[in-house]
Amino acid sequence: MNTYSLMFAGVGGQGSLLIAELTSLAAVSAGYDTKQTEVHGVSQRGGSVETHVRFDRVEKVHSPIITPGEAFAVIGLEKLEALRFAHYVDQKNGTIFINDHELIPASVADAEKIYPHETIEYLKSMGLRVIVLPASRMARDLGDGRMANVVLLGALSTILPIPQDLWEKTIKLRIPAKYLEGNLKAYQAGKEMMS
Protein backbone atom coordinates (compact mmCIF):
# COMPACT_ATOMS: atom_id res chain seq x y z
CA MET A 1 0.00 0.00 0.00
CA ASN A 2 1.61 3.21 -1.15
CA THR A 3 -1.20 5.51 -0.10
CA TYR A 4 -0.59 7.71 2.91
CA SER A 5 -3.84 8.24 4.81
CA LEU A 6 -3.99 10.92 7.49
CA MET A 7 -6.86 11.77 9.81
CA PHE A 8 -6.96 15.23 11.37
CA ALA A 9 -9.39 15.56 14.28
CA GLY A 10 -10.25 18.63 16.27
CA VAL A 11 -12.88 21.06 17.44
CA GLY A 12 -14.28 23.67 15.05
CA GLY A 13 -12.10 26.77 15.38
CA GLN A 14 -8.89 24.90 16.32
CA GLY A 15 -7.53 24.92 12.79
CA SER A 16 -7.40 21.20 12.05
CA LEU A 17 -8.67 21.93 8.55
CA LEU A 18 -5.82 24.40 8.02
CA ILE A 19 -3.06 21.90 8.83
CA ALA A 20 -4.81 19.24 6.75
CA GLU A 21 -4.85 21.69 3.89
CA LEU A 22 -1.16 22.53 4.39
CA THR A 23 -0.35 18.82 4.34
CA SER A 24 -2.34 18.31 1.13
CA LEU A 25 -0.70 21.27 -0.58
CA ALA A 26 2.76 20.10 0.46
CA ALA A 27 1.94 16.62 -0.90
CA VAL A 28 0.68 18.14 -4.17
CA SER A 29 3.85 20.20 -4.54
CA ALA A 30 5.90 17.04 -3.94
CA GLY A 31 4.13 15.44 -6.90
CA TYR A 32 1.65 13.16 -5.12
CA ASP A 33 -1.87 12.51 -6.32
CA THR A 34 -3.82 13.92 -3.38
CA LYS A 35 -7.37 14.02 -2.10
CA GLN A 36 -8.81 15.68 0.96
CA THR A 37 -12.24 15.87 2.56
CA GLU A 38 -13.70 17.23 5.75
CA VAL A 39 -16.70 16.23 7.77
CA HIS A 40 -18.37 18.66 10.11
CA GLY A 41 -21.79 19.36 11.51
CA VAL A 42 -24.24 22.16 11.01
CA SER A 43 -22.42 25.10 12.41
CA GLN A 44 -19.43 27.29 11.98
CA ARG A 45 -17.77 26.51 15.28
CA GLY A 46 -17.55 24.37 18.33
CA GLY A 47 -18.44 20.95 16.94
CA SER A 48 -16.27 17.98 16.16
CA VAL A 49 -14.38 18.30 12.85
CA GLU A 50 -12.60 15.52 10.95
CA THR A 51 -10.47 16.01 7.88
CA HIS A 52 -9.18 13.13 5.78
CA VAL A 53 -6.05 13.52 3.63
CA ARG A 54 -4.73 10.82 1.30
CA PHE A 55 -1.78 10.96 -1.08
CA ASP A 56 0.10 8.50 -3.27
CA ARG A 57 3.06 8.90 -5.59
CA VAL A 58 2.51 5.88 -7.80
CA GLU A 59 -1.19 5.20 -8.06
CA LYS A 60 -4.24 7.35 -8.39
CA VAL A 61 -5.98 8.05 -5.09
CA HIS A 62 -9.61 7.02 -5.47
CA SER A 63 -11.55 7.53 -2.25
CA PRO A 64 -11.04 10.78 -0.34
CA ILE A 65 -12.44 8.96 2.72
CA ILE A 66 -10.17 6.89 4.95
CA THR A 67 -11.28 3.54 6.29
CA PRO A 68 -10.84 2.94 10.04
CA GLY A 69 -7.66 0.96 10.64
CA GLU A 70 -5.66 2.34 7.71
CA ALA A 71 -4.42 5.78 8.78
CA PHE A 72 -0.67 6.25 8.79
CA ALA A 73 -1.31 8.96 11.37
CA VAL A 74 -4.19 10.35 13.39
CA ILE A 75 -3.58 13.93 14.47
CA GLY A 76 -5.76 14.92 17.42
CA LEU A 77 -5.83 18.59 18.31
CA GLU A 78 -7.75 17.76 21.45
CA LYS A 79 -7.94 14.65 23.63
CA LEU A 80 -11.61 13.73 23.22
CA GLU A 81 -11.41 14.23 19.46
CA ALA A 82 -8.23 12.15 19.27
CA LEU A 83 -10.14 9.40 21.05
CA ARG A 84 -13.14 9.73 18.75
CA PHE A 85 -11.00 9.06 15.67
CA ALA A 86 -8.23 6.88 17.17
CA HIS A 87 -9.69 3.73 15.61
CA TYR A 88 -8.79 5.12 12.19
CA VAL A 89 -5.12 4.44 12.91
CA ASP A 90 -3.31 1.49 11.37
CA GLN A 91 -2.75 -0.39 14.62
CA LYS A 92 0.51 -1.98 13.42
CA ASN A 93 2.27 0.82 11.60
CA GLY A 94 0.37 3.98 12.46
CA THR A 95 0.98 6.78 14.94
CA ILE A 96 -1.46 8.88 16.96
CA PHE A 97 -0.33 12.43 17.70
CA ILE A 98 -2.25 14.04 20.55
CA ASN A 99 -2.22 17.61 21.74
CA ASP A 100 -2.35 17.29 25.53
CA HIS A 101 -5.29 19.65 25.74
CA GLU A 102 -8.91 19.33 26.86
CA LEU A 103 -11.88 21.27 25.57
CA ILE A 104 -14.98 20.38 27.55
CA PRO A 105 -18.08 20.30 25.29
CA ALA A 106 -20.31 23.12 26.52
CA SER A 107 -23.52 21.69 25.12
CA VAL A 108 -23.33 18.36 26.97
CA ALA A 109 -24.73 18.12 30.49
CA ASP A 110 -22.10 17.35 33.19
CA ALA A 111 -19.45 17.22 30.49
CA GLU A 112 -16.62 18.05 32.91
CA LYS A 113 -17.44 14.97 35.00
CA ILE A 114 -17.95 12.51 32.17
CA TYR A 115 -15.11 13.79 29.94
CA PRO A 116 -12.59 10.99 29.19
CA HIS A 117 -9.63 12.63 30.99
CA GLU A 118 -7.74 9.31 30.90
CA THR A 119 -7.73 9.09 27.07
CA ILE A 120 -3.96 9.06 26.59
CA GLU A 121 -3.30 6.33 29.14
CA TYR A 122 -6.14 4.31 27.69
CA LEU A 123 -4.92 4.51 24.09
CA LYS A 124 -1.39 3.59 25.20
CA SER A 125 -2.78 0.62 27.14
CA MET A 126 -4.36 -0.56 23.88
CA GLY A 127 -0.83 -1.00 22.52
CA LEU A 128 -1.08 1.92 20.09
CA ARG A 129 1.83 4.17 19.24
CA VAL A 130 0.84 7.46 20.86
CA ILE A 131 2.92 10.63 20.75
CA VAL A 132 1.74 13.25 23.23
CA LEU A 133 2.73 16.85 22.62
CA PRO A 134 1.97 19.86 24.83
CA ALA A 135 1.20 21.75 21.62
CA SER A 136 -1.22 24.28 23.12
CA ARG A 137 1.24 25.19 25.87
CA MET A 138 4.12 25.43 23.41
CA ALA A 139 2.04 27.65 21.14
CA ARG A 140 1.09 29.89 24.06
CA ASP A 141 4.77 30.19 24.98
CA LEU A 142 5.43 31.26 21.40
CA GLY A 143 2.82 33.98 21.76
CA ASP A 144 -0.47 32.53 20.55
CA GLY A 145 -2.20 29.35 21.73
CA ARG A 146 -4.06 29.12 18.44
CA MET A 147 -0.86 27.92 16.73
CA ALA A 148 -1.09 24.52 18.48
CA ASN A 149 -2.23 23.11 15.15
CA VAL A 150 0.99 24.13 13.41
CA VAL A 151 3.10 22.71 16.27
CA LEU A 152 1.43 19.35 15.58
CA LEU A 153 2.04 19.82 11.87
CA GLY A 154 5.75 20.24 12.58
CA ALA A 155 5.78 16.96 14.47
CA LEU A 156 3.77 15.17 11.78
CA SER A 157 6.06 16.43 9.02
CA THR A 158 8.97 14.43 10.45
CA ILE A 159 7.32 11.10 9.68
CA LEU A 160 6.05 11.94 6.18
CA PRO A 161 8.03 11.52 2.93
CA ILE A 162 7.58 15.16 1.87
CA PRO A 163 10.86 17.14 1.69
CA GLN A 164 11.28 19.73 4.48
CA ASP A 165 11.74 22.70 2.14
CA LEU A 166 8.31 22.03 0.61
CA TRP A 167 6.64 22.23 4.01
CA GLU A 168 8.13 25.63 4.67
CA LYS A 169 7.35 26.82 1.17
CA THR A 170 3.73 25.73 1.59
CA ILE A 171 3.37 27.47 4.95
CA LYS A 172 4.80 30.66 3.43
CA LEU A 173 2.36 30.50 0.54
CA ARG A 174 -0.70 29.80 2.62
CA ILE A 175 -0.30 31.69 5.95
CA PRO A 176 -0.94 35.47 5.90
CA ALA A 177 2.21 37.57 6.38
CA LYS A 178 0.99 38.88 9.74
CA TYR A 179 1.02 35.38 11.27
CA LEU A 180 3.84 33.85 9.26
CA GLU A 181 6.76 34.34 11.64
CA GLY A 182 4.91 32.85 14.62
CA ASN A 183 3.66 29.92 12.60
CA LEU A 184 7.10 29.11 11.22
CA LYS A 185 8.38 29.08 14.80
CA ALA A 186 5.49 26.85 15.87
CA TYR A 187 6.24 24.50 12.98
CA GLN A 188 9.93 24.40 13.96
CA ALA A 189 9.09 23.77 17.61
CA GLY A 190 6.89 20.81 16.68
CA LYS A 191 9.63 19.38 14.49
CA GLU A 192 12.20 19.70 17.25
CA MET A 193 9.97 17.82 19.68
CA MET A 194 10.42 14.78 17.46
CA SER A 195 14.21 14.91 17.17
Partner 1 sequence: MREFLLGNEAIARGAWEAGVKFVSGYPGTPSTEIIETLAMRFPETNPRWSANEKVAFEEGMGAAIGGLRVLVTMKHVGLNVAADAFMVFPYSGTNGGFVVISADDPGMHSSQNEQDNRYLARVGKVPVLEPSDAQECHDFMIAGLELSEQFKSPVMLRTTTRLAHHKGLVEVGERREVEKKEFVRDAKRFSVPIYRLIRRPEVEKTLNALTAYAETCSFNRMEHNDNKSIGVVTSGIAYQYVKEVMPNAGVLRLGMTFPLPANLLREFCSQYETVYVIEEGEPFIEEYMRNLGITNLKGKEIFGLIGEYSPGRLRSALALGDPPKPFTEQVNLIPRPPMMCVGCGHRTVFAALKQLKVTVSGDIGCYTMGALPPYEAEHTTFCMGASIGVAVGLEQAGHKDTVAIIGDSTFIHSGIPPLIDAVYNKSHLTLVILDNSATGMTGSQQNPASGKNLLGEETPKLDLEAFCRATGVSSVEVVDTWQRKEIVNTIRRAIAYKGPSVVIARGPCNQLPEIKKRHVIPFIVEEELCTKCDACFKVWCPAITRTEQNFPVIAAHECTSCTVCAQVCPTDAIKLAEAFA
Applying CB under 8 A, the residues found at the interface with partner 1 are 11-12, 24-25, 28, 33-48, 61-65, 67-70, 80-81, 83-84, 86-87, 91, 105-109, 111, 114-116, 118-119, 122-123, 126, 144, 146
Helix or strand (DSSP H, E) at 19: helix 16-29
- For partner 1, the closer CB: 40 or 169: 40
Cβ 42 vs Cβ 14: under 8 Å: no
Cβ 149 vs Cβ 77: under 8 Å: yes
Closest CA to 23 of 7, 10, 39: 7
- For partner 1, the closer CB: 108 or 192: 108
Residues 6+ apart with CB under 8 A from 177: none
Residue 189 CB, nearest approach to partner 1 (Å): 20
Residue 41 CB, nearest approach to partner 1 (Å): 5
Distance CA 18, CA 176 (A): 12
- For partner 1, the closer CB: 49 or 153: 49
Residue 115 CB, nearest approach to partner 1 (Å): 7
- For partner 1, the closer CB: 110 or 195: 110
Q: Is 16 helix (H, G, I), strand (E, B) or coil?
A: helix
